[in-house]
Structure 1
Amino acid sequence: MKVVLMGYMGSGKSVIGRKLANTIAYKYADLDEYIEKGEGQNIVEIFTNHSEIYFRKIENAYLKKLLDTDGNFVISLGGGTPCYSNNINLIKDASNTSLIYLETSIDTLTNRLFSEINRRPLISHLTNKIALNDFIRKHLFERSYYYNQADYKISTDHKSIKMLAEEIRKVLF
């Protein structure tokens, strides 16, 4: 089985994914880390040295590879992964796969992401919390079509990582 976590950047996909994988004794794969390892560059370098279009093409190829890998996995996607190429269909059409949307409020995302703004290529140009909040609001609206195709929606606000991993485990099993 593949448990695929999606949500906006800063929603906790990676940290919750690691905890969930440990809780249910599955292998764990972070798609961005998988891409970085395969490309020998971090995500910021890939965006800078190539382009977002290049990144989205290779992201699709690496996602296919992960979904085709044998074994039980928890996979954390990048925030935009389901919105590009045919990625949402790849996930939805993959056998024995559950797609979970980690829904996080705009204010929570703004507070989490503001301190990481320079490490996130899509928001590094923003200079204050108001601009970041507006950016997130617009992005979430644009991405809602994809995020709402999840098999399960889990609200992350005011919950610990351990609580969220347990909530997902209960939904799945």
Structure 2
Amino acid sequence: MRVFLIGFMGSGKSHWGRILQDALKINFYDLDSVIEEKENQTIAQIFESKGEEYFRRLEHETLDAMIQEHPEMILSCGGGTPCFFKNIDLMKQSGTVVWLNPAVEALVKRLVKEKEKRPLLNEVSDEALHSFILKKMNDRRIYYEQAHVHVEEDKATPASLIEQIVHA
């Protein structure tokens, strides 16, 4: 079983990934962490030194390699991962894609605290964060909505999430 967790940054992909790992006894990986280890740089440093295009290509190559290397895994993907190089199609063909979709207000509350770790938020003021998230979500929704499972996070429990994944 392969499970791909997608959603906007701050949507809880890593949180739910660890919960699913414990419940399903399947290894959990964070795609951004795998990339950081491979490049020996943070995502922010990669964006700054080599640009977003380089990062998106590297992200696609790493996603493909993870699929080839791990017949079973739970993978937390970056917020933009599904939106480039037909990654959403690759994930859908290779496992179950789960869209974590908390309320925008919850995302704002989480992301305002960790903007320095998020390259796309470096130049966004706290006051503009809500509007930025809404715009990006509207741009990405077409990809996120293709997921097999849609989860409104405030209604999810580990048992309900596992049931939805198993029955997807």
> For the superposition of Structure 1 and Structure 2, which TM-score range results when normalised by the shorter chain?
over 0.9
**Unpaired segments ≥5 residues, structure 2:** none
Q: Is the 8 A contact 1:36 1:42 kept in 2?
A: yes
Distance in structure 2 (CA, Å) of the matches to 1:100 and 1:158 = 14
Partner of residue 99 from structure 1, selected from 80, 97, 104: 97
Partner of residue 120 from structure 1, selected from 118, 121, 129: 118
The residue that corresponds to 2:152 in the other structure is 155
The residue that corresponds to 1:171 in the other structure is 164
Opposite residue 76 of structure 2, the aligned amino acid is: S
Distance in structure 1 (CA, Å) of the matches to 2:70 and 2:7 = 24
Q: Is the 8 A contact 2:149 2:165 kept in 1?
A: no
**Unpaired segments ≥5 residues, structure 1:** none
Q: How many residues align?
A: 166
Distance in structure 2 (CA, Å) of the matches to 1:93 and 1:42 = 29
Distance in structure 2 (CA, Å) of the matches to 1:13 and 1:40 = 22
Shift of the alpha carbon at 1:166?
A: 2.4
Q: What's the C-alpha RMSD, in Å, of the aligned pairs? A: 1.2
1:54 aligns to 2:47 (yes or no): no
Distance in structure 2 (CA, Å) of the matches to 1:113 and 1:148 = 22
Opposite residue 171 of structure 1, the aligned amino acid is: Q
Distance in structure 2 (CA, Å) of the matches to 1:85 and 1:15 = 26
4+ runs deviating over 4 angstroms = none
The residue that corresponds to 1:40 in the other structure is 40
Shift of the alpha carbon at 1:93?
A: 2.0
With the length of structure 1 as denominator, give the TM-score of the two structures: 0.92
Q: Is the 8 A contact 2:31 2:78 kept in 1?
A: yes
Opposite residue 153 of structure 1, the aligned amino acid is: H
Q: Is the 8 A contact 2:60 2:85 kept in 1?
A: yes
Distance in structure 1 (CA, Å) of the matches to 2:141 and 2:155 = 21
What is the percentage of aligned positions where both structures have the same residue?
36
Shift of the alpha carbon at 1:158?
A: 6.3
Q: Report which stretch shifted further, 84-93 or 146-155.
A: 84-93
Shift of the alpha carbon at 1:17?
A: 0.5
With the length of structure 2 as denominator, give the TM-score of the two structures: 0.94
